Amino acid sequence: MAPLRESRSFRALVIAALVCAGIAAWAHQRPQPAIVEQRTATYAGTFLGDNTVALDGGAHVLAHVRDAVPVGAHVLVRGRLTPFDEARNPGEPSERAIESERGIDAQLQSATLISIQHAGDGAWLERAHAWAYDQLHARLGEPNAAIVAGELWGERSILPPDLRAEFQETGTVHVLVTAGLHVGSAAALCVALLSLFSMPRAVTCAIAAACVWLFVLWSGGQLPAIRAASMATAALAARACGRATFSWNALAMAALVVAFVKPASVATASFALSFSCVGAIFVCAPALEQWIDARVAWPRAVREALVLSVATQLGTWPLTAAVFLLFSPYAVVANLAVVPCVALTMALGALQLALAWCAPLAQACANLNSWPLAWMLASVRTMATLPGASIPMTPAPAWCIALYDVALVGAPWLLRRNGASVAIAGLAFAASLVLWPPRTIDTRLRVTVLDVGQADSIVVQTPRGHTLIVDAGGRLERGAQGSDSTAELVGERIVVPFLLRQGIHSIDALIVSHPHGDHVGGCRPVLQKIRVAEIADSGQTYGGHAYRDCVDTAAADRVPIVQPRAGMEWRTDDGVILHFLGPSLPFIANSRNDINENSIAFTLRYRSFCMLFTGDAGAAAEQRFLDEGVDLRCDVLKVGHHGSAYSSTHAFIAAVHPRFAIISVGRHNLFGHPAPTTIRTLEGIGAQVFRTDQNAAVTIASDGSALSLSALLTP
């Protein structure tokens, strides 16, 4: 009868876990409004902190306002309500899906605070987080307070971007997200404290489970925390019934709970990462521990830390490489240094908040906490500076990751049957497919005009795998830029990820048509992540931040800078020819914008296919091309200067006579691009016009005779 009673008790505790999950879901449920783009208007809502406003209609929106607003205040904000984007470039993840998982429905662009109506009594959780952060910040300082806030409730927006990048590159960013490590630490601390009161084991486990779910509510009820709390509840239930604490049944129950609470999350990368981590521990930990025991006599705590670190990295690195586009070779060592400190820093941080009423005791906790936090920071920063600390990765196809998972699961089974050679060979082969993913071979010329907003970036891939980039995205630079240019963010977030997803790790030439930030902004990020053989520059003098960064980085990396001039030609070994039309010497002077007029311009020909690039060249440069009698006729025109009224003259367009015209332009830009006159001129000669603001990225493919053009979106 005892096993039956234990089985019933276990089922009862599992049902209790599901009830807790349901309560967590109910506590965070809210309507999911359908957001459609609207004109600029005024909206009322409650400020939740982290630039988030809960509108009175129920939607949660991002609103980057410059003014300081107290959390929980009821505000009036003016801006243009727009939904987040689906993918706008090939291979790009959906921003809408990512933000939806965070609980954000839309964004208020160009948000301006109109007024703070009253302090408000809502947003109790956000106000509690704000109070807790203020307490941590006052006694720990930065970035320590931001790290503890990340551990206790997943707050990451406060951490400086460069430090967060170092956590990302060393494979320790999970420390800043409330997930399994933190929930497990909370559960272990609860059990340790409750055991001091000599209560029955079942009561101790039940109270600890309740505390775990309270911690999940406190942290905001994100998917990783719910998954970890479900696992912890199952483990506590098993402990109460005298069973194995962790099992595949517990993992399955956690999957059931997550599917019950957030069914849409089952298809997300977060779900896959969460369960790959725990599954890898179940699969690999016993074999790893046995292997270590047979060779070294390390203390149990050290052995367990090593086993868990290695097992989790074995299970998650293919997915993290696919999601974050990087591989962290030192992740195991970095996690060994950082992870053991997490439970201690969490406990001291929580104790500091609990003792906030007594300043001396709270400060004593903060002082103690500063030591392990200093160790964590030093470890992360040291690992991030090591050679090869972060290797850019092309995401492997799903079948390669699945094959690796099969090899990983099968390896312990083969080892137990004296199949070590087969296990190692299979795992090495599967890992090699993830590290060097197979690529489909396309023998056509491909030109992709990326959607980089009010900027330009075009990627040319030749039939034999040569790659040229014409401009690297960015944005116009206005005002002081500080140590980093805002123009470079586009390169980091759009251009470099596109290249890596396409399997491009080396570039034959980066052609910078002219040095404005909306064309050269991504140059430095590209140089930092991708091997570049040379840079083509117009040769003009310009003091923009992004341009200086590009030139300085090229000099540091010994990347030669060349200056093509009209009449020069570049040829590849597969028949692609670049014939340069400009700039010519002397440079055009005293025009409306000399920098634009002296852009690098060229035709790209492959057999009978031709495409014309003119950068931001305007009417003066176009007239020079016409006066020189250059053959301008091409199939595709990359329209100059984002479709400005000061370029694309009727005579020039008539000379080119393109079948297709592509305009790289940002939505709702302040310049009125593209100009109606430009559109009328293009349509007047029969060109089919594509715009990145309406069509997103546009791809041209040609075998030298036939031509196909496709856009990611249909307006």
Specify the range with the lowest mean pLDDT, choosing from 5-14, 174-183, 360-369, 520-529: 5-14
| Tens digit of each residue's pLDDT (9 = 90 or more) over 619-657 | 999 999 999 988 999 999 999 999 999 999 999 999 999
- Distance from C-alpha of 514 to C-alpha of 501, rounded to nearest angstrom: 27
| Tens digit of each residue's pLDDT (9 = 90 or more) over 567-612 | 999 999 999 999 999 899 999 998 889 999 999 999 999 999 999 9
Report the pLDDT averaged over residues 448-452: 96
Report the pLDDT averaged over residues 391-399: 92
Secondary structure of residue 117 in the 3-state scheme: strand
Question: What domains can you pick out in the chain, each with its CATH number?
Answer: 40-122 (2.40.50), 400-435 (no CATH), 445-711 (3.60.15.10)
Which amino acid is present at 91?
G
Q: What is the pLDDT of residue 113?
A: 86
Residue 5 pLDDT more than 50? no
Q: What is the pLDDT of residue 250?
A: 66
Q: What is the mean pLDDT of the chain?
A: 86
Residue 1 pLDDT more than 50? no
Q: What is the pLDDT of residue 122?
A: 61
Confidence of residue 3 (pLDDT cuts 50, 70, 90): very low
Report the pLDDT averaged over residues 372-394: 92
Residue 93 pLDDT more than 80? yes
Q: What is the pLDDT of residue 210?
A: 86
Q: Show the 3-state SS of 31-76.
A: CCCCCCCCCEEEEEEEEEECCEEEECCCCEEECCCCCCCCCCCEEE
- Distance from C-alpha of 550 to C-alpha of 416, rounded to nearest angstrom: 55
pTM above 0.85, yes or no: yes
Residue 244 pLDDT more than 60? no
Q: Show the 3-state SS of 78-103.
A: EEEEEECCCCCCCCCCCHHHHHHHCC
Q: Of 21 and 210, which is predicted with more confidence?
A: 210
| Tens digit of each residue's pLDDT (9 = 90 or more) over 28-51 | 555 556 666 777 888 888 888 778
Nearest to 289 by CA among 267, 311, 312, 273: 311
Specify the range with the lowest mean pLDDT, choosing from 8-17, 127-136, 398-407, 705-714: 8-17
Q: What is the pLDDT of residue 55?
A: 86
| Tens digit of each residue's pLDDT (9 = 90 or more) over 532-552 | 999 999 999 898 899 999 999
Specify the range with the lowest mean pLDDT, choosing from 205-209, 278-282, 419-423, 586-590: 278-282
| Alpha carbon separation from 275 to 315, 316, 481 (Å, rounded) | 9, 9, 42
Q: What is the pLDDT of residue 186?
A: 83
- How many residues belong to the chain? 715
For the stretch 26-35, contacts whose Cβ atoms lie closer than 8 Å and that sit 24 or more positions apart, written own/partner, are: 27/217, 27/221, 28/103, 28/220, 28/221, 30/58, 30/60, 31/58, 32/105, 33/57, 33/58, 33/59, 33/105, 35/59, 35/81, 35/82, 35/83, 35/105, 35/106
